Structure 1
């Protein structure tokens, strides 16, 4: 769904300027111009916004279902609800789960936050840090007060001192009348114990919303959890195992996979 994307930050901020140049955008909006275009947003004095009108929202669940359907059509079989117990490398790779044993000439490991534990048993230590992310949905104070209609854009902050990792938001498809606003960072966690992690970023988000999105309530109406798996430079790992070339690893997508 095409929504547009508003990039918010201080003028001259390197990432913001790089985005403006690479997008070929000449127009930079000040606080008054942004409010006229999108009444739900309120910039602070001296801050600017860059609009990418081509951007939009990818429906991740639908995309995943589509990939799974193509996989099935080409003869693949999905096995849900099986915990992997061990991986035995070799010319034929053996994977043992709680439901059985599988053998194949090649193996692809894309296990998200659990990848580090999987590859350790293959003699490989990767610098992967699972993070628990609070996924928050914030309700409009009054219907229509935050401008969450068909023209409401996504947004991303760059270079704001109070949010060094960036805050992003998008009109909620799942919960009408709410906006999804999240901090692009989280708390280090054991993926098997992710529901026990703290909620320290909620105060940061509440403060941001009261300043930049005054049409939203300052406490989340719905809060869910997701997991990032970050690398030190937030770049992806897509490669073969250095010793077992028939094992391919995809990991460390750092919230953007």
Structure 2
């Protein structure tokens, strides 16, 4: 531990941002470092300003790229560990459909999924519209719709997972400071430690993990570091279906539907009495502190029209629409790296690119290994800071799953 200087408070490890990934990092650090761990949260725990506080998130096994599939199995085991420790069920298996029309150009994503999942020995089924509707009669689909179905996918209780990580971390001795805004970082005089100046005072530590979501560039400003992150206002709408039993978690799967304009998604009932629907990466770019309080009525209507056409039994009054932030890199890949190239090897940076919650427990574990051990055993090279998407100003962003690996000569099972 670095030498104390009153009134500076000393810790070994500090996590900036205690949303989904940050709370997981605090937990995994606390298992090995106990009271030497500090979590700093800009708002109150459980706030709704960011991107990870909601009733539900996907946890799934279907991906088109090896960099994700290599991590999927431990995404499950890390959540199962805290389920055992807490006695609280967090994963609810429902199965998942990835759907599109095979007569539309964006259907090319399905062969990429099939190829990658087959290579990594992940199970899936290809279903036509007739079979989808036989298994799940809640759908009413165009005859050209096909789907990749994975039975292991499920609903991950996001709000509960965040709270469980924090409460288990506190049981291990970790400290959490709420309503604490980071103002700037600087190196300590020894050059080995970092001083974290905040609205509640200054803290010193050996390693800092930044998991600040949409506020990442604000937090990094004092380090003269800025990432090409696009922050958007996203929205999920909860619909009060009159057919509640048909949309319970044991009868209705998760789904994603790739249309020409949107990537629609839907959840069974979980956390309240509404069916959750929305369109991913469909929102307007905003500043993180300007998340609107009022719903986007136009996007509500798009979601309802999708339900009327494809899931008519789900249609009902809108319960409410919930906003959140996406912090998206141009290639929609994560950032998991140190700031060594900027002269701060003591600082570890994470950006979730608007879809990291599926790996919430695992990424917390990976970040803790990087902080304590200086490296992780998990393959994260695809998420380094030195990649083209983060350094080429002419890199064209793709937020909608269209940039998937091509598979020359691969015969799709559509």
- Per the alignment, residue 117 of structure 1 pairs with 218
* Aligned residue runs from structure 1 range 166-181, under 5 A: 166-176=263-273, 178-181=274-277
Correspondent of 2:300 among 202, 223, 235: 202
Say yes or no: does 1:251 pair with 2:351.
yes
Aligned position for 1:14: 108
- State how far apart, in whole Å, the 1-side matches of 2:351 and 2:280 are: 18
CA distance in 2, matches of 1:170, 1:80: 31
1:31 aligns with 2:31: no
Deviating more after overlay: 189-198 vs 111-120:
189-198
- The offset of 1:203, in angstroms, is 2.8
Structure 2, unaligned stretches of length 5 or more? 1-91, 358-414
Once the two structures are superposed, residues 169-189 of structure 1 have per-residue CA deviations (whole angstroms, 9 ceiling, x without a partner) of: 11131112x211111012211
Give the counterpart of 1:232 among 327, 330, 333: 330
* Higher mean C-alpha displacement, 32-41 vs 223-232: 32-41
TM-score of the two chains, using structure 1 as the length reference: 0.89
SS across alignment from 1:28 = strand
Deviation sequence 1:50-80 (CA, Å, 0-9, x none)? 2211111111222222322343244320111
Measured at CA, do residues 196 and 224 of structure 1 come closer, stay the same or move farther in structure 2, by a change above 3 Å? Answer: closer
**Corresponding position of 2:21:** none
TM-score relative to the length of structure 2: 0.57
Secondary structure in 1 aligned to 2:159?
helix
Q: Does 1:59 align with 2:161?
A: no
Task: Name the SS of the counterpart of 1:135 in structure 2.
Answer: strand
CA offset at residue 132 of structure 1?
1.2
1:137 is aligned to 238
SS at match of 1:18: helix
Identify the residue that residue 397 of structure 2 maps to in structure 1: none
Q: CA deviation at 1:39?
A: 1.2
For 1:213, the equivalent position in structure 2 comes to 311
Q: How far 1:218 sits from its partner (Å)?
A: 6.0
2:284 aligned with 1:193: no
1:3 aligned partner: 94
Greater helix proportion: 2
**1:63-106 deviation line (CA, Å, top 9, x unaligned):** 22232234324432011111222222343212222222211122
Count of aligned pairs: 251
Q: Please tell me whether the aligned partners of residues 130 and 143 of structure 2 are also in contact (alpha carbons under 8 angstroms).
A: no
The C-alpha deviation readout for 1:134-171, integer Å capped at 9, x for no partner, is 12111214444x5435221100123x2031xx111111
Residues 149 and 4 (structure 1), Cα distance of their counterparts in 2 relative to 1, 3 Å cut: closer
Q: Secondary structure at the match of 2:223?
A: coil
Q: Extract unaligned runs of 5+ from structure 1.
A: none
What do you get for the CA RMSD once the two structures are aligned? 2.1
